[in-house]
Amino acid sequence: MRTSLNELKQIEAFLLSKKKSPAFEMEMESNPDLREKVISQKIAYHLIKLFGRKLLKKDLNDLHYHLMHSHEHERFQREVQKIYPHHKI
Amino acid sequence: MQLVQDKASKQLRYDLDFPELYEDLFPKVASFLSKQGSSYDLARDIFQDAVIIYFEKVSHKKEEVDNPEAYIMGVVRHLWFRTYNENQQWVDFAGFNEEVAESVDEYLNPVQHKVMSLLERAGRKCLELLRAFYYQKASLHSIAGDFGFSGIRSATVQKYKCLKKVKDQVKKEEIDYADFFE
């Protein structure tokens, strides 16, 4: 397990750092198994980003609802109502 | 609600003041979009997508934006253009910017959504932890506190274990690299 976690850590350092290690790149070229692991990890990061976006969108929707319904934000509500007078709060 | 909670709350927070940004910019964006013929719901949707693209630029790519309002308005224009351009090809329009167009393309890539359900199989707690670290950019110290780990070391090990779960799922389902990056 420890070896596997260390490998994840090494691949993470390669994928997430701006300066790519030439030694790691060379190893990847000669090791198809490692290359496959790097690709799977890159996809995993991308999926995590999509999950993060989905939840941030939900948070922003909650925030919108709060701004449109809370008494503290009446100025905001008036501005929006002026732009969309037919929208019912 | 996570974005408007009390600062003393233990919930993880983003390093961007979303409520202030939202309150300040949504009316301006809505005013622009309503003049273009956008509905209220679409204006809200486009604005939120633009805010997410802006957040990722400053928080993930660590790029500085001198004028957030101008940047977000630029993204809104691009998103509006894509929404109403049936063939989905970029053409020159006032304010077109290649870098913004690239970010919008990446954000709107529809292939991505097919595989989202795979993530759920890694378990909710794991996903929340990975999201906190990789998307919200929370520190391992705050993650350890919020998720009940004994310290940074234990949070780090758990983070990698969760990442492995997602990675194993990617391998198991034979998700293709080309679906995302080509």
Whether residue A8 and residue B27 make contact (CB cut-off 8 A), yes or no, is no
pLDDT at position B2 is: 59
Q: How far is B101 from chain A (nearest CA, A)?
A: 18
Looking at every residue in chain A, the average pLDDT score rounds to 91
Residue in A40, A55, A83 closest to B34 by CB: A83
For B103-145, the DSSP string reads HHHHHH-GGGGGGHHHHHTT-HHHHHHHIIIIIS---HHHHHH
Cβ–Cβ contact B181 with A under 8 A: yes
Round to whole Å and give the CA distance between A31 and B60. Answer: 30
C-alpha distances (whole Å) from B138 to each of B145, B155, B166 are 11, 12, 19
pLDDT at position A62 is: 94
Whether residue A57 and residue B180 make contact (CB cut-off 8 A), yes or no, is no
Whether residue B3 and residue A60 make contact (CB cut-off 8 A), yes or no, is yes
pLDDT at position A2 is: 62
Round to whole Å and give the CA distance between B35 and A2. Answer: 59
Whether residue A44 and residue B170 make contact (CB cut-off 8 A), yes or no, is yes
Q: What is the dihedral of CA B13, B14, B20, B24, to 10 degrees?
A: -150
Task: Report whether B180 contacts A50 (CB < 8 A).
Answer: no
pLDDT at position B9 is: 42
For chain A, the DSSP string reads -HHHHHHHHHHHHHHHSSS--HHHHHHHHH-HHHHHHHHHHHHHHHHHHHHHHHHHHHHHHHHHHHHHH-GGGHHHHHHHHHHSTT---
pLDDT at position B3 is: 65
A-proximal residues of B, 103-122, CB under 8 Å: 107, 112-113, 115-116, 118-119
Cβ–Cβ contact B149 with A under 8 A: no
Round to whole Å and give the CA distance between A34 and A4. Answer: 12
pLDDT at position B14 is: 78
Q: Taking the CA atoms of chain A, what radius of gyration do you get in angstroms?
A: 23
**Whole-structure pTM value:** 0.87
Q: How is residue A79 written in tokens?
A: 């501005």
The residue whose two tokens read 């300040």 is B24
Q: pLDDT tens-digit profile of A33-61?
A: 999 999 999 999 998 998 999 999 999 99
Task: Report whether A12 contacts A41 (CB < 8 A).
Answer: yes
Whether residue A40 and residue B43 make contact (CB cut-off 8 A), yes or no, is no
Whether residue A53 and residue B118 make contact (CB cut-off 8 A), yes or no, is no
pLDDT tens by residue, chain B, 182 residues: 556 554 434 444 677 889 999 999 999 999 999 999 999 999 999 999 999 999 999 988 888 899 999 999 999 999 998 887 666 667 777 788 888 998 988 888 755 555 677 777 778 899 999 999 999 999 999 999 999 999 999 999 999 999 999 998 888 877 777 766 66
Phi-psi region of B170 (alpha: psi -120 to 50; beta: other; left: phi over 0): alpha
* ipTM score assigned to the predicted complex: 0.89
